[in-house]
Amino acid sequence: MIITMQFGASQAEIDAVCSVIKERGFEPLVMPGEDRLAIGIHAALSPDDRIFLESAIGSLDGVSKVTQTSSPYTLASIEFHRTRSSVAVKGVVIGDGRFTVMAGPCSVESYDQYRASADMVKASGASVLRGGAFKPRTSPYSFQGLQEEGLQIIKQVGDETGLVTISEVMSADMVEVVADHVDILQIGARSMQNFPLLIEAGKSAHPVFLKRGPSATIDEFLLAAEYVLNQGNPNVILCERGIMPLDRTYTRNTLDLAAVPVLKEHTHLPVIVDPSHGTGVARYVAPMAKGAMVVGADGVMVEMHPDPKKALSDGSQALDPAHFNSLMKELKALATATGVRM
Amino acid sequence: MIITMQFGASQAEIDAVCSVIKERGFEPLVMPGEDRLAIGIHAALSPDDRIFLESAIGSLDGVSKVTQTSSPYTLASIEFHRTRSSVAVKGVVIGDGRFTVMAGPCSVESYDQYRASADMVKASGASVLRGGAFKPRTSPYSFQGLQEEGLQIIKQVGDETGLVTISEVMSADMVEVVADHVDILQIGARSMQNFPLLIEAGKSAHPVFLKRGPSATIDEFLLAAEYVLNQGNPNVILCERGIMPLDRTYTRNTLDLAAVPVLKEHTHLPVIVDPSHGTGVARYVAPMAKGAMVVGADGVMVEMHPDPKKALSDGSQALDPAHFNSLMKELKALATATGVRM
Amino acid sequence: MIITMQFGASQAEIDAVCSVIKERGFEPLVMPGEDRLAIGIHAALSPDDRIFLESAIGSLDGVSKVTQTSSPYTLASIEFHRTRSSVAVKGVVIGDGRFTVMAGPCSVESYDQYRASADMVKASGASVLRGGAFKPRTSPYSFQGLQEEGLQIIKQVGDETGLVTISEVMSADMVEVVADHVDILQIGARSMQNFPLLIEAGKSAHPVFLKRGPSATIDEFLLAAEYVLNQGNPNVILCERGIMPLDRTYTRNTLDLAAVPVLKEHTHLPVIVDPSHGTGVARYVAPMAKGAMVVGADGVMVEMHPDPKKALSDGSQALDPAHFNSLMKELKALATATGVRM
Amino acid sequence: MIITMQFGASQAEIDAVCSVIKERGFEPLVMPGEDRLAIGIHAALSPDDRIFLESAIGSLDGVSKVTQTSSPYTLASIEFHRTRSSVAVKGVVIGDGRFTVMAGPCSVESYDQYRASADMVKASGASVLRGGAFKPRTSPYSFQGLQEEGLQIIKQVGDETGLVTISEVMSADMVEVVADHVDILQIGARSMQNFPLLIEAGKSAHPVFLKRGPSATIDEFLLAAEYVLNQGNPNVILCERGIMPLDRTYTRNTLDLAAVPVLKEHTHLPVIVDPSHGTGVARYVAPMAKGAMVVGADGVMVEMHPDPKKALSDGSQALDPAHFNSLMKELKALATATGVRM
């Protein structure tokens, strides 16, 4: 931890910082700088020490800023965990050098629509079936999903096809019912910092698929994962799905593919990319899905629909069956060419 | 609604769009453009028609984009409501030309700390007492609030002092218990699109104080308010609290004061500004609070603490008693000078 | 300067960093951290030392990042300069506790239009007349300004009315000719990092009005000012004019009023706010101009036009004569009420 | 062009808009909407008509906004040009299905350093040699490049090795001297809207390599290209180099790879990606360069240095010889696997 003092901080102010550090049992290292002084702490701090000192020192007079030199998360950190983790569900392994495709419609609209989607997903060789029952929608007047009926359809279609299923849970009190019907609990981008939900998902035995919030920094994203891990659930899968766009004219979000190598350097958790929400445009999904593979992602989540023109939500970003099959072929060819298991 | 076709869209593609419009009972207006054609709909569409058409047309071949020419929200719109609304709680009126100060510590830390805060708030002439019992914290290792015990302290101190109280509720299943203890339900920035929470708050008889999410557009913000209003709760107070910063070096967020006149032009709901979270730095709170008054806000929410150096959360943005009192005096003088009731 | 090592950096890597520091003549301070080690430098570094060490250490193996604890600018810094500076031009003082209004049309369109503007500006009590002769326009098909003819009109009208004039210079080779015709050289937001222009303006005897770039951090902005100051021109005026917007629907930019107190804390230079470009909407100019005054700005630059409906550029953000006069009255009343000289 | 009226616009205001349209010779199409009225123009407008009408109508009372339905650029548009263009320089073709690697150090530091770099670039099979002589640096205290001496070194090394050379020009008055020494004129991100420079480069016979500004929208980027094209220079190469980051902790910019398919859909110009500036971190360059290939870019520009630890600028993002050679091999293998010529 480094404390930077304001320019012209008085000796009394410097002493006050040092004495807080000493009282906590550590040794301050005073470093005069070019135009202001910094104080370092020469010790391995526990999370408790770190939070105590940051708060206690941060509001002292003469302090300009307190900088952490260590990572704010530990369970999510590759430095702590040492080896990469993978998540196994019903025989499907996410991570561990494999490239997993999760596909399906934005919303479960009916048994027929969902079963048709599942058949296409399965025939294409993808192993995880997505589909929303509870839909977070910006407008209260948009289709909100089939809700409980949707969950039952997911369960039925999952059982019939043997596909691993994933669906979104939007609040802590719904974790149990969603977990009763689907294999992987998805936490959406807008819920990334819904802390009661993260905690409840952390108590579940189901894997958690956590999407990055549109304005979340990498540290905020990994701290959200830390909430789940900290409750004892080790099976967290991260998903980059696009951040707040500079320009909303041509894409819905800015897909931050560099987040993949950044995350891989800092966390042991598997990283999936969602090029459908990441761009919001069906015709950009294929190039960005291939991009995700070569930058090192552990898979992609893509939206497809048996008939996008009739989709009740997000039709403009869903692949139709022909384009979905074509994408699967391109991904397999690329995987073969680049030594990725798929 | 305007549909812009892609350059070179075929006649068959144009006809397909027109026939969807006609089937829904409306008349398409075809407008050749400089380099591509647009199709307008000459009619007053219901929300249902609008959503149906946007989805049905959006994924047709040859369509470049679908633009709404009307507002996506109605209950929150000043065009619909005609007169400005105000929210009355226990004799305190928010809106209606008054400037309301909501103040108190970030977190309720103990009865003594909270009662001392309340006494200062009351003595200064402010009428609403803030304080968090359930705290959304980026890190699971940070102080999470006193939770139920905090709610009881809020209720006790509210009863003792007669101040109107406000505190955050983080999930739908907590709306009832929070409403049993506090006067105004706060929905935090990270929960702005927690739709189950918005819906549950919309069923409450308590006013709802809704903070703008850090990456929320004005339309997304007003649609979040629409979720609450749509459940029958007319008492929504909006709060601008800073958006995602360009530069995190000197401020925690970018306080978007221009959002105040923009919101005032489009909605009838009262608008409060939070310069504490909006800047994250105690010494910028006073100028930005005064700025909020002159740009037309209905009040401010500010963090103060009897002893910021000992605060368990956000000490660096809390005003100490002397600075808080000084701010209150400056605001009153400015209100008098500018004809604002306070 | 603080060097943070990667987790697990080897002793050899740590030694390599220390030896670069020692070779430059300084003493490294090694601080083990919670999960990684940091190395501080216990000395006052010159700019040369700082840049050398940042570059030399930044690419060594095992280094995670190099953090500067001191300010990257010195001439622009209030810590260096100690007292606030003001800029005097033809009897008009910018800074020093006064609130200066700079007003005029976006573009000089004709002698008649510009003289009419100037008469209104003068009659209102404003002291600086703006107006573009060379116009930076996003599209090559938009009106590019009257260019040299525009400069002559500015000179003539400035001479006739005695107003101080300001106009934009877009490239280094145009500094001389613009300086021959106008009193203050404006460097636009898109030119904030046009370094040859900054250097040439720094050699001029004319004051320089420097606008913040739409994506510029505070440090980048002050370093751009440093380029001018470093050439020997002490008369730099800063202008906040809105940063890249989150939401382009209702405003053209996000006016960052908190930048005013942030800048006032770090630099001695006067700070002006441009609410016309900052919002892009004429009806938001008045509230934001008043906001600028109460947050501590040294003045505003506003666009007005004798007849905005006929303006050749930016008509939608220009005030008409009635609204401009009304704004001037409101600003004077607010200045009187708040003890600002105007 | 679509004009959306404010809610409650009066008939007189609507008539005023229609009469401006009629006076210009076009037919207004009035479309009542759900809650406000829109007016379309049923005609192919010239750029002049478009700009006139946008300005004339935009400031009329009762007008909410004016939306262009056609593209603001024409020379850069693929709709206008029909076929993709490529740029040929000294036998090297950029575009046309080939993947071009442009590589070299950030700055030319000496003949020896630059010649060593060139030899490595040539040996690796790359065909274009980069290197800055005039360096735009955020701080006036950073190394500003060897300037004219640097240009001479570039020319000499280009002649000796036969490599195509590219270097940055920072102002209009330097176009000629830079063009005398290098093959391709680079316009940097911070100069993307330096309009005098764009115009001067447009008069040159040399190809222009135009980098996207950090806050530039796609339309602003293509309009900058339009400035060059409009002067008669058809040889423009676009470069995505990262936009303003959400999170500056781990990368210098956010590399917007989706801009590649977006640009390919709207312009005929070749598109290059710069993963070195796009991430700012040498170890992320290889994955992002491969990502650029699979999303459809026409090449990459990468920074390499014979000894990054001794680089005078941007050492932390430069590849060392071993990593550069390894990247070239990976790119060739990927090109072979995916059918890209390289």
Q: Which residue in C has a C-alpha nearest to residue B243's C-alpha?
A: C246
Chain Cα centroid distance, residue A271: 8
Contact D284 A293 (CB under 8 A): no
pLDDT at B43 over 90: no
Neighbouring subunits of B (3+ Cβ pairs under 8 A): A, C, D
pLDDT band, very low/low/confident/very high, at D73 (cuts 50, 70, 90): confident
Confidence at residue D116, expressed as pLDDT on a 0 to 100 scale: 97
Mean pLDDT of chain D: 92
Range in B233-237, B268-272, C35-39, C291-295 with the lowest mean pLDDT: C35-39
In chain B, whose CA is at the least distance from the CA of C275? B258
D neighbour chains, 3+ CB pairs within 8 Å: A, B, C
**pLDDT value of position A56:** 83
Averaged over B179-198, what is the pLDDT? 97
Over 70: is that where the pLDDT of C341 sits?
A: yes
Give mean pLDDT, residues D23-39.
79
* Cross-chain residue pair C215–B294, CB shorter than 8 Å: no
Q: Residue C170 and residue D308: Cβ atoms within 8 Å?
A: no
* Residues B48, A282: C-beta atoms closer than 8 Å: no
Cβ contact A168:A186 at 8 Å: yes
Question: How do strand C299-303 and strand C271-273 relate by DSSP bridges?
Answer: parallel
pLDDT for the residue D248: 86
| Per-residue b or e along B294-309, where b marks 16 or more CB atoms closer than 10 Å to that residue's CB | bbbbbbbbbbbbbebb
Asked whether C188 and C219 are in contact (CB, 8 A), the reply is no
| Cα torsion angle, C283, C286, C288, C289, sign | positive
Check residue C123 and give its pLDDT.
Answer: 97
- d(CA D203, nearest CA chain A) in Å: 30
Continuous H helices in chain B: 11-23, 47-58, 78-81, 111-124, 148-161, 175-181, 195-203, 218-229, 259-266, 275-279, 282-294, 321-338
pLDDT > 90? residue C169:
yes
Note the pLDDT of residue B73: 87
Top-confidence residue, D81 or B9: B9
**Alpha carbon of B251: minimum distance to chain C alpha carbons (Å):** 8
Domains in chain C, start-ordered, CATH in brackets?
2-67 (3.30.70.1140), 78-338 (3.20.20.70)
Of D168, D126, D127, D161, nearest in space to D324 by CA: D126
pLDDT of residue B286: 98
Q: What angle do CA D103, D109, D110 make, to 5 degrees?
A: 105
**Best of D31, D50, D65, D80 to disrupt the B interface by mutation (most B CBs within 10 Å)?**
D31
Residues of D in Cβ contact (< 8 Å) with A260: 287
Q: Which of D215, D233, D276, D283 to mutate to test the interface with C (most CBs of C within 10 A)?
A: D215
Closest chain C residue by Cα to residue D194: C191
Closest listed residue to residue C261, CA positions, set B331, B281, B292: B281
Question: Once rounded to an integer, what is the mean pLDDT over residues B77-83?
Answer: 81
To the question of pTM greater than 0.90 for the whole model, the response is yes
CA distance A193 to chain D (A): 17
**CB contact (8 A) between residue D217 and residue A279:** no
The answer to whether the CB of B262 falls within 8 A of the CB of B218 is yes
* pLDDT tens track for A238-249: 999 999 999 888
Interchain contact, D265 vs A283, CB within 8 Å: yes
**Residues of chain C positioned with their CB less than 8 A from the CB of A244:** 246
Return the pLDDT at D310.
83
Looking at residue A284, what is its pLDDT?
96
Average pLDDT over residues B47-55: 79
Mean pLDDT, to the nearest integer, of D142-161? 96
Between A64-73, A170-179, B258-267, C194-203, the lowest mean confidence (pLDDT) is in: A64-73
CB contact under 8 A, B254 and C254: yes
pLDDT tens digits for range A43-90: 767 777 887 888 788 878 888 888 777 778 889 998 777 789 999 999
Percent residues over pLDDT 90 in chain B = 72
Q: What is the mean pLDDT of residues D251-270?
A: 96
Distance CA C171, CA D127 (A): 33
Pick the residue from chain C with its C-alpha nearest to D215.
C215
Instruction: State mean pLDDT over C20-45.
Output: 80
Confidence grade of residue A9 (pLDDT, cut at 50, 70, 90): confident
The nearest CA of chain A is from the CA of D251 a distance in Å of 8
The number of beta carbons lying within 10 Å of the beta carbon of residue C57 is 23
Share of chain C above pLDDT 70, in %: 99
Contacts of residue C308 in chain D, CB cutoff 8 Å?
A: 59
The stretch D76-94 carries a mean pLDDT of: 91
Mean pLDDT calculated for residue range B38-65: 80
Which residues are within 8 A (CB) of B91 and not within 5 positions of it... i.e. 6 or more apart?
none
pLDDT score of C52: 81
CA distances in angstroms from B283 to A64, B318, B327, C262, listed in the order given: 12, 9, 11, 10
What value does the mean pLDDT of chain A take? 92
Tell me the average pLDDT across D154-180: 97
pLDDT tens by residue, B299-322: 999 999 999 888 888 778 999 999
pLDDT confidence of residue B14: 92
Q: Do C287 and B261 touch (CB under 8 A)?
A: yes
- The pLDDT score that the predictor gives to residue C35 is 64
For residue B148, the distance in angstroms to the closest alpha carbon of chain C comes to 33
- Asked whether residue B95 carries a pLDDT value surpassing 90, the answer given is yes
Report chain A residues whose CB lies below 8 A from the CB of D257: 255, 257, 288, 291
- Band (A35; pLDDT cuts 50, 70, 90): low
The span from the CA of D181 to the CA of D204, in Å, is: 13
Query: Which residue in the set A140, A193, A230 is minimally distant from B226, CB to CB?
Result: A140
Is the model's pLDDT at B33 over the cut of 90? no
- This complex has an ipTM of 0.92
The answer to whether residue C34 scores a pLDDT higher than 70 is no
Per-residue pLDDT for C334 more than 80?
A: yes
Nearest CA in chain D to B245: D246
β-strands B38-41, B28-31 pairing: antiparallel
| Single-letter amino acid code for the residue at C129 | L
Is C44–A34 a contact, with Cβ atoms under 8 angstroms apart? yes
* Separation between Cα atoms, residue D14 and residue D20, nearest integer Å: 10
pLDDT tens for each residue of D100-131: 999 999 999 999 999 999 999 999 999 999 99
Q: Place A27 in a pLDDT band, splitting at 50, 70 and 90.
A: confident
Residues in chain C whose beta carbon is closer than 8 A to a beta carbon of chain A? 1-2, 4, 7-8, 29, 31-36, 38, 40-46, 50, 67, 69-71, 74, 77, 79-80, 244, 246, 248
Residue B217 has pLDDT above 70, yes or no: yes
pLDDT in tens, B57-73: 887 888 888 887 777 88
- For residue C329, what are the CA distances in angstroms to C226, C289, C326, D95? 36, 12, 5, 60
Mean pLDDT to the nearest integer, C112-126? 97
C-beta atoms of B34 and D46 within 8 A: yes
B241-245, C76-80, C218-222, D174-178 — which is least confidently predicted? C76-80
Asked whether the beta carbons of residue B246 and residue C243 sit closer than 8 angstroms, the reply is yes
